[in-house]
Structure formats: C-alpha cells, structure tokens
Amino acid sequence: MLVRVIDAPKDDWSFSTAREPARFGACEVNGAPGVEHAADGRRTLCGISARHTTRYLHLFVPDALQSCRRCRQKAEASPTQPCVQERLHGRVLESAQGAMRDELLDALRKGAHVRLWINGPSADLAKSYASFDELTDGAGPAAEAFASAETIGLANVEYDLWRFLVVLPQDGGPPIIARGARGPH
C-alpha cells in the first residue's frame, strides 16, 4: 500500500515559535559610503536623520560585514514579528464563519504553507494566480470579488489535500475563502 505524505505534522510548530526577527530597510549615510544602516521611519536605528541617508530596495542585514554596529545591536534587540501564518490568520478571522474558514484557521495554526501572498491588479492576479477552475468550494464568490475590484489581495495556502484561496479586498471588506484539491508538485 502506497501512502502519500503531503504535509508532515509539525508538532512543535506554533505562532510563538515561528515569530520572525524584526526587519528594517537598509540605507547609507550620504557622503559616507560602505556602511549600511537600519532605517526605521525618519531615523536610522543609531539615530541619524533619514534626510541625510539614501535608502535601498533591500532589507538591513544585521550580521553583514558592512552593517553599522549600533544599528546591528538595536535591530537584534528589537521585538520579533508575527510569521506569515499568524498575520494571515488575523485577516482570516474577519471572514464569514463556516467550516471552510475553521479548517483554514486550524491549518494556519499548524503551520500551513503560505505559498503566495500578493496584492495587485485584480484581472492580472485572477489570470495568473487564482485558478478558479481548480476550486471546488467558494469559487463563485471569490471570482465575483475579483471582478468587482480594480486591485485586490490574494493568498494561496496549501495544507493536507487542499489549496485555499484567500481573497483579500483592498477596501477593508472581509476576506473570501475558496478551496480546491491540491495538485501534485
């Protein structure tokens, strides 16, 4: 007998064990290249005003050789942040109650794989990532949400035999959940 294990149980996984280090943007002080600082709002973590810096399109890496020592220390001492499963769990709590919602919430609490979480033009996301034809539950309301909004958020969550599609309206409306059988990878 062939048994296919899709997701191995993660008995020690929890939101608290999966918390992530705080993240900060990277920047350099104008006229002083070679040392990256952690940007936090209007200042670096070591206290330099943002108006004297140039920001980069990547995150500050505390243990990189070019990282400011004081920014490194403050970044490492910063509180951790919720993992992607915990953040999505908080959003899904706002959705309509039902069995599918409860299954998704339970899956997220067990560390379900959030394959994708993206925001953008509804038509593009629907075409590239929604796969409505593969959904067996909730496809209609999910497709309607895409059709009625110019921009939208979308999350694909995989757990056990299911792929959940979470539609995240940008207008603050409640998320819409759909699901279908999970395909082979």
Q: What pLDDT score does 16 carry?
A: 87
For residue 97, the Cα-to-chain-centroid distance in whole angstroms is 22
Q: What pLDDT score does 121 carry?
A: 94
Indicate the pLDDT class of residue 12, thresholds 50, 70 and 90. confident
**Where do runs of H (alpha helix) occur along the chain?**
69-77, 84-92, 99-109, 122-125, 139-147
Q: CA–CA separation, 44 vs 52, rounded Å?
A: 10
Q: What pLDDT score does 7 carry?
A: 55
Q: What pLDDT score does 1 carry?
A: 41
Alpha carbons within 13 angstroms on the beta-carbon side of residue 40 total 14
Whether residue 3 has pLDDT greater than 60 = no
Q: Which residues partner with 157 through β-bridges?
A: 114, 164
Whether residue 91 has pLDDT greater than 80 = yes
Whether residue 11 has pLDDT greater than 80 = no
Share of the chain above pLDDT 90, in %: 83
Tell which residue, 174, 119, 126, has the closest CA to residue 146: 126
For residue 18, the Cα-to-chain-centroid distance in whole angstroms is 13
Q: CA–CA separation, 90 vs 161, rounded Å?
A: 23
- Residue bearing tokens 């599609």: 165
Give every CB contact of residue 86 below 8 A, 6+ residues apart in sequence. Answer: 15, 18, 19, 108
Residues 133-161 have a mean pLDDT of: 94
Indicate the pLDDT class of residue 163, thresholds 50, 70 and 90. very high
Residues 148-176 have a mean pLDDT of: 93
Q: What pLDDT score does 9 carry?
A: 52
Q: What pLDDT score does 171 carry?
A: 83
Rama region for 160: left / alpha / beta (φ>0; ψ in -120 to 50; rest): left
Whether residue 4 has pLDDT greater than 50 = no
Query: Do the Cβ atoms of 32 and 19 come closer than 8 Å?
Result: no
Six-digit token string for 1: 């007998």
Q: What is the pTM of this model?
A: 0.76
pLDDT in tens, 19-72: 988 999 999 999 999 999 999 889 999 999 999 999 999 999 999 999 999 999
Mapping DSSP to helix (H, G, I), strand (E, B) and coil, where does residue 128 land?
Answer: helix
